[in-house]
């Protein structure tokens, strides 16, 4: 004790030593590197909650270790899935590994949920300092994040695997050309025909040159297939590969012809509607012409009646003139009477 | 646009030669002495192509100046010799029809054929003459052709309707002028009729 106060040659670090031993004893059972940050923060815990916290601790460390192992298996799976050679396909191993990883992830999920429930129950039962609650919350969140990352990686690996399987399927069918090619036809027909490129003429030449038919030349016409994966094997399979594109080009040409027919019919419908519009407009014009002619007719009839009346009046004026003459003669007579 | 020959064969498995079930060829445009050799050539090339066509596959092969189209359906193979201008699609639809017709008329008896049959099949011969025009074989082609003709007719119709529109416009102007003139006429007549006191 005295040695501690003075500047002596040794320092009594027994308490520290005891603390470290306790920590190590707590953390020695689930031996993983992940445990250290969790175990380290627990040194100052009061004894009363130490048991609970250590249980929480143990669980958290177990979960951490399991996550780590899962991510390791996942990286192995990713490596296997990336190996994309046709012949050496470790499908069974990949399947097993996938199942194992899926199980582990679901188990980890439930364990994490349990951990969270335990922590919540602890927080409800006892008076725990704010630090411990935040710490346990941080621990749980961290574990959750890691689990999420692992699941995401798992999903990516699975998508990569399915893409590779698709490519393998295509390659296999081009090589063996079995009747299960109907599965590739939907892939072919889905390609929009409007964007069908002009037949690439240089492509047929290497195939025609190396085909091994005896008396006839195979002419692969209409090669617009952009889907062809690189050919690995020659002549025999090339002939069969020409078979598949030819079949597809036949289907494609039929589909294209149908599209042409459909578009022609559309154009025809457009033309018909235009025709109908024009004819209806001209019908209106015809109605106006009709009205004009009726007006003209009415005017001319009125004018004709006027002229007829005028004619009548002109021809009937003579009566008036005779009467006027008589009146004049009467005046003349009166004049003659006065003068003579 | 010519079909030179149509053959129906039974495509045996890979090792043996296909067996000819029906044959129709039109060799009239060759000289008299070449006809038999052309027939032989047709038979031989037809056999070769049919033996190399896997089942449920269509294939087109260029041989000298002919295109040979083959369609193999479950062992029954139809081969057609056409020139370059014959559209491929009509060729294959023609082969389709031939095979359907053959199956309808002969049922399954062709499966047991072991040697070339020499009886002519009249349907094949008349098909050969009927389908010299590719539109006959391929309904799509026929429809497309008719639609194009209809389109041309419609274009002409629209042109004539436009001309009619122009004529109607000129008619409308003239009729409106006429109605104006008749109105003036009426007014004049009324004017001369109204003042009757003078004279």
> Which residues in chain B have Cβ-Cβ distances shorter than 8 Å to A292?
172, 175-176, 178-179
Q: How confident is the model at residue B196 (pLDDT cuts 50, 70, 90)?
A: low
Amino acid A183: pLDDT: 43
Q: Which of B184, B190, B194 to mutate to test the interface with A (most CBs of A within 10 A)?
A: B190
β-bridge partners, B68: B61, B81
Average pLDDT of span A158-164: 84
**pLDDT for B98:** 82
pLDDT greater than 70 at residue A223: no
Asked if residues A241 and A174 have their Cβ atoms less than 8 Å apart, the reply is yes
Question: Over pLDDT 90: what percentage of chain B?
Answer: 19
Residue B99 has pLDDT above 80, yes or no: yes
Which residues of chain A lie closer than 8 angstroms to B199, CB-CB? 317
Task: Say if residues A101 and A155 touch (Cβ distance below 8 Å).
Answer: no
Provide CB contacts within 8 A for B38, sequence distance 6+: B25, B27, B30
Q: Give the pLDDT of residue B57.
A: 81
**Can you give the pLDDT at residue A177?**
57
pLDDT for position B15? 60
Question: Which one of A25-29, A247-251, A264-268 scores highest in mean pLDDT?
Answer: A264-268
CB contacts, 8 Å: B154 with chain A: 268, 271-272, 275
Q: Coil, strand, or helix at residue B76?
A: strand
Q: Side-chain half-sphere of B10: how many Cα atoms within 13 Å?
A: 16
pLDDT at A115: 81
Residue A220 pLDDT greater than 60, yes or no: no
Of B45, B140, B165, the CB nearest to A257: B140
A336 token code pair:
């003659």
Query: Quick one: B186 exposed, middle or buried, by C-beta within 10 A (0-12, 13-18, 19+)?
Result: buried
Choose between A258 and A204: higher pLDDT: A258
Q: Across all residues in chain B, what is the average pLDDT?
A: 82
> Is A219's CB within 8 Å of B62's CB?
yes
Span A224-235, average pLDDT: 42
Instruction: Could you list the beta-strand ranges (E) of B11-84.
Output: 19-25, 57-63, 66-73, 76-82
Q: Which residues, at least 6 apart from A111, have a Cβ–Cβ distance to it below 8 Å?
A: A59, A62, A63, A66
Residue whose token pair is 């939907």: A186
Task: Find which of B189, B190, B196, B199 to mutate to test the A interface (most A CBs within 10 Å of its CB).
Answer: B189
Distance from CA of A72 to the nearest CA of B (A): 48
A96-123: pLDDT as tens digits: 888 888 888 888 888 888 888 877 776 6
pTM, rounded to two decimals:
0.46
How many angstroms away from the CA of A69 is the closest CA of chain B? 51
Q: Which two tokens mark A326?
A: 């008589």
Q: Express each pLDDT in B42-86 by its tens digit.
A: 888 888 888 887 778 888 888 878 888 888 877 788 888 888 888
The CA distance from A285 to the nearest CA of chain B, in Å, is 7
Q: Which residue of B has its CA nearest to A248?
A: B58
Q: What is the pLDDT of residue A51?
A: 65
Kindly report, residue by residue over A39-91, the tens digit of the pLDDT: 444 444 445 556 666 777 788 788 888 888 888 888 888 888 777 555 656 67
Looking at beta carbons, which residues of chain B come within 8 Å of A317?
Answer: 199
Cβ count near A272 (within 10 Å): 13
pLDDT digits (tens, 9 = 90+) for A2-44: 444 445 667 788 888 888 889 888 887 655 444 444 444 444 4
Q: Which member of B58, B186, B192 has the closest CB to residue A302?
A: B186
pLDDT of residue A289: 93
Six token digits for residue A170: 């295509």
The verdict on a CB contact (< 8 Å) between B144 and A260 is yes
Alpha-carbon span B82 to B76, nearest angstrom: 20
* B41 vs B29, more confident: B41
User: In this predicted model, what pLDDT tens digit does every residue of A273-309 receive, in sequence order?
Assistant: 999 999 999 999 999 999 999 999 999 999 999 888 8
Banded pLDDT at B177 (limits 50, 70, 90): very high
Q: Is the pLDDT of residue A209 over 50?
A: no
Whether pLDDT at A141 is above 80: yes
* Per-residue confidence band for B174, with pLDDT thresholds at 50, 70 and 90: very high
Distance (Å) of CA A145 to CA A42, A50, A142: 22, 26, 5
């Amino acid at each position: 004790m005295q040695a501690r106060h003075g500047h002596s040659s040794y320092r009594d670090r027994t308490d520290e030593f005891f603390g470290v031993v306790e920590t190590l004893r707590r953390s020695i059972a689930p031996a993983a590197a992940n445990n250290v940050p969790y175990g380290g923060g627990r040194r100052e815990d009061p004894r009363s909650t130490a048991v609970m916290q250590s249980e929480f601790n143990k669980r958290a460390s177990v979960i951490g270790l399991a996550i780590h192992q899962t991510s390791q298996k996942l990286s192995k799976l990713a490596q296997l899935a990336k190996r994309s050679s046709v012949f050496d396909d470790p499908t069974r191993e990949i399947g097993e590994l996938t199942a194992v990883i899926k199980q582990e992830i679901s188990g980890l999920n439930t364990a994490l949920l349990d951990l969270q429930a335990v922590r919540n129950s602890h927080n409800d039962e006892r008076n725990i300092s704010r630090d411990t609650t935040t710490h346990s919350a941080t621990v749980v969140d961290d574990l959750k994040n890691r689990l999420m990352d692992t699941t995401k990686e798992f999903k990516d690996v699975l998508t990569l695997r399915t893409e590779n399987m698709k490519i393998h399927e295509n390659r296999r069918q081009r090589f063996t050309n079995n009747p299960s090619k109907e599965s590739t036809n939907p892939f072919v027909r889905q390609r929009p025909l409007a964007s069908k490129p002009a037949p690439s003429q240089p492509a047929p030449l290497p195939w025609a040159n190396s085909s091994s038919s005896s008396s006839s030349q195979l002419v692969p016409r209409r090669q617009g297939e952009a889907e062809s994966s690189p050919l690995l094997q020659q002549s025999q399979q090339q002939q069969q590969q020409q078979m598949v594109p030819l079949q597809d080009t036949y289907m494609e040409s039929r589909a294209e012809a149908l599209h042409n027919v459909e578009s022609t019919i559309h154009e025809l419908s457009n033309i018909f509607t235009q025709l109908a519009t024009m004819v209806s407009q001209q019908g209106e014009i015809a109605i106006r012409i009709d009205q004009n002619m009726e007006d003209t007719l009415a005017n001319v009839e009125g004018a004709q009646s006027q002229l007829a009346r005028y004619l009548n009046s002109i021809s009937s004026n003579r009566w008036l003139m005779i009467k006027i003459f008589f009146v004049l003669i009467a005046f003349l007579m009166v004049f003659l009477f006065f003068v003579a | 646009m010519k079909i030179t020959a149509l053959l129906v064969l039974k495509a045996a498995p890979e090792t043996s030669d296909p067996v000819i079930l029906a044959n129709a060829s039109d060799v009239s445009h060759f000289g008299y002495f070449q006809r038999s050799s052309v027939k032989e050539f047709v038979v031989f090339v037809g056999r070769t192509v049919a033996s190399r066509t896997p089942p449920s596959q269509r294939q087109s092969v260029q041989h000298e100046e002919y295109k040979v189209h083959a369609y193999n359906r479950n062992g029954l193979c139809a081969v057609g010799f056409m020139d370059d201008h014959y559209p491929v699609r009509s060729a294959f639809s023609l082969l389709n029809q031939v095979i359907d017709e053959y199956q309808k008329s002969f049922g399954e008896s062709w499966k047991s054929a072991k040697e070339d049959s020499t009886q002519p099949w009249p349907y094949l011969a008349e098909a050969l003459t009927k389908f010299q025009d590719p539109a006959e074989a391929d309904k799509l082609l026929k429809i497309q052709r008719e639609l194009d003709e209809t389109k041309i007719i419609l274009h002409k119709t629209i042109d004539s309707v436009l001309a009619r529109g122009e004529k109607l416009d000129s008619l409308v102007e003239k009729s409106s002028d006429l109605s104006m003139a008749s109105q003036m006429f009426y007014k004049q007549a009324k004017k001369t009729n109204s003042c009757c006191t003078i004279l």
